[in-house]
Amino acid sequence: MKNILVTGAFGYIGSHVVRVLAQEAGVTLYALDTQIDNDRKLSNVNYIVGSFADAGSWLHSLPCVPDVCLHLAWRNGFFHNHPSHMIDLSSHFAFLKLLMDEGVPHIAVMGSMHEVGYWEGPITDGTPCAPQSLYGIAKNSLREAFLLLADEMNVKAQWLRGFYITGDDFGSQSVFGKLLRADAAGQETFPFTSGKNKYDFLDVKELAKQIVASILQDDVLGIINCCSGTPMSLGERMERFIADNHLRISLEYGAYPDRPYDSPGVWGDNTKILQIMVKANW
């Protein structure tokens, strides 16, 4: 049996990851979050109420040292310049260091394409990073420190870089969630940007599969782009979303300026994740 610890287990990404992992044979799953939603608990998952920042109070209560830790917990991810990103940075690093000190041999951490900053074209694991938001700066700093320390401690490390996530939208703080709520409230139009920027969109359920496939193997390590590898304009993706969900609302293009740190076209190089998914036969 492989013992896997997941933080942020009831988060937007974590809830889907836990469901996928719970279906895997040969896995004993420990799911950590600050609050446990009893209505969404799964019978074959061991839930832990707590925070990664206070791991000293619960880590030693586990029956064994985890074989893998997947660190997904991160607050205010949709608010790119929230000060909590920088305030929490040292706690994230301290948690990862504690795991290594306790002998966890394999650690994976959720990253973001926003750690790259402004870039045009495909993002590879060697693309230079110059983040332009507090969220991106914090993620990039954690990535550099985590991979450096993991190399020193001889720990198998994966940095799972996410891109633009769709699916399970109504409760999310993404633009798709905002669009659904605006339509439900009876709004006829939705203030929008030019919609011309091209991004790499991936459904959260597919993202969960990519994450799980990545952590269940340890041949492919380092930065792994969890992505589709295909760019699509935001306007096209939103129009498709409106059609797929039979919404009555229409986009008011140009109501907001495009953000200065958003590239006209950026997507992930999916070479590594394709290798992983093929090997997993998914």
Catalytic residues, by residue number, are: 135
Alpha carbons 247 and 179: distance in angstroms, whole number = 9
Q: Are 82 and 76 in contact (CB under 8 A)?
A: yes
Alpha carbons 175 and 156: distance in angstroms, whole number = 35
Alpha carbons 54 and 44: distance in angstroms, whole number = 25
Alpha carbons 163 and 114: distance in angstroms, whole number = 8
Between the alpha carbon of residue 59 and those of residues 52, 102, 148, the distances in Å are 9, 9, 23
